[in-house]
A = this chain, B = another copy of it.
């Protein structure tokens, strides 16, 4: 699906009515903002949040998971450059203190606030810097826009990711949704993803917000993989202020899907060291789970990724990747079809001319591999399908990650 009305990042994207935000430099990184605080002052705040399933989820995830349960979270503080994960009991105490200071600065209760952190694992927060910065916020301007927030939380991202859609309200007007996201390495979300925050002025009940948001995340962020590594800090949050009019559940879900898909594609395209967006579409599967399993096997294969990087017409590696799903015994290689762009490679068995065309297709900035599994079902061919998003694997990925902390 192509986002119908999503727009890419402009220079400035104000948050929707009902929200105000601060972005600042506490000194966690050498230069630039590294902390932001958003508060939802709308008349009917609602929230939804999904988190990493990592066993090593950090204190930020633990605290946010508890505070998000009400569906009425009123704000979020995000700390970049340090994930505060695997830091023991002191790490939990530090996270609580950051939450306390941030809540005090915006006049909320700590249990109304969420917290997300991203960066190095296994290092304690520089608490002196964070304390000083957050205590100075009470009188500060809260006028940061979405681009500023998206920039403040970047780690190895090369540009801020923002998206905006409008959605029709039940009264015939429009509400807006603004989303920000970060995370281009250690990205294979499972229940949740990197860090993403959606803001909307729509008036919506927490239960409706939650189901629409979870459905959208499942189709988008959860179909993203840069490198198969799942962050300990993945957090995706949706906040609604109610400063605008009500929005129907279907409209909200479609709008969320559009904006999350836009952000997902931006994240994949900016994957660490990536030069291309790689999309894998699997159809004809027994069910969506099977389609996703096969699609991920292709998307995550380092040999497929390096072939895409080098535009090497080595389509056989896609067959190899499908073959890895050996517990899916209902997949019959003789019924499988593999297509790059509009060129069938299997079972067409390309000759020299087709291999040259395949090279051309693989040289594009966006490479799409479509696989039909042709699984037989009682009613003919099964219709399970899933599309996943990733990127190629380049030398630059190694360069970025071989000396990340030093």
We find that the number of chain A residues with CB closer than 8 angstroms to chain B is 68
Determine how close the nearest CB of chain B comes to the CB of A61; give it in whole angstroms. 10
Closest 10 pairs between A and B when the two form their complex, measured CB to CB: A121-B316, A310-B402, A122-B316, A56-B323, A54-B323, A306-B401, A395-B395, A53-B326, A86-B319, A310-B403
The stretch of A20-28, A42-50, A239-247, A297-305 in contact with B is A297-305
Besides A227-B303, A312-B404, 5 more A-B contacts (Cβ < 8 Å) are A87-B349, A121-B320, A122-B319, A186-B303, A310-B404
- Assess whether A63 is interfacial by the CB under 8 Å rule: no
Q: Which residues of B contact A18 (CB under 8 A)?
A: none
Q: A397 near B: Cβ within 8 Å? A: yes
Interface status of A57 (Cβ within 8 A of chain B)? yes
B231 touches A320 (CB 8 A): yes
The chain B residue sitting closest to A306, CB to CB, is B401
List the number of copies, as a whole number: 2
> Which residues of chain B are within 8 angstroms of A56 by Cβ–Cβ distance?
319-320, 322-323, 333
Query: Are A395 and B399 in touch, CB under 8 angstroms?
Result: yes
Query: Is A323 a contact of B398 with CB atoms below 8 Å?
Result: no
In angstroms, Cα B358 to Cα A405, docked, is 13
The verdict on A228 contacting chain B, using a C-beta distance below 8 Å, is yes
In the complex, A185 has a CB within 8 A of chain B: yes
> A230 CA to B323 CA in the complex, in Å?
8
Render A210-236 as a binary contact track against B, CB cut-off 8 A, 1 for contact. 000000000000000001111110000
Q: Which residues of B contact A123 (CB under 8 A)?
A: 316
Q: Mark A268-291, 1 if CB is under 8 A from B, else 0.
A: 000000000000000000000000
How far apart sit A156 and B296, CA to CA, in the bound complex (Å)? 26
Chain B CB within 8 A of A168 CB: no
What residue of chain B has the Cβ atom nearest to residue A321's Cβ? B229
Quote the shortest CB–CB distance from A160 to chain B (angstroms): 23
Does A55 interact with chain B (Cβ within 8 Å)?
A: yes
Minimum CB–CB distance for A309 against chain B, Å:
5
State whether A306 and B397 are in contact (beta carbons under 8 Å apart), knowing that A315-B122, A321-B229, A346-B86 are contacts in the complex: yes
A393 within 8 A of B: yes
Most chain B beta carbons < 10 A, residue from A123, A301, A317: A317
Nearest-neighbour CB distance to chain B for A60, whole angstroms, equals: 14
User: CB within 8 A of A406: which of B124, B313, B323?
Assistant: B313
User: Which B-chain residue is minimally distant from A406 (CB atoms)?
Assistant: B312
Q: CB of A108 within 8 A of chain B?
A: no
Q: Are A320 and B398 in contact (CB under 8 A)?
A: no
Tell me which residues across on chain B come within 8 A of A29, comparing CB atoms: none
Are the C-beta atoms of B122 and A55 separated by less than 8 Å? no
| A347 interfacial contact with B, CB 8 Å | yes
Contacts of A127 in B (CB 8 A): none
Kindly provide the distance from the CB of A346 to the nearest chain B CB, expressed in whole angstroms.
6
CA gap between A49 and B60 in the complex, in Å: 51
Which residues of the partner chain B approach A397 to less than 8 Å between Cβ atoms?
302, 306, 398
Chain A 315-359, CB within 8 Å of chain B: the 1/0 string?
A: 111011111111011010100000000000111010000000001
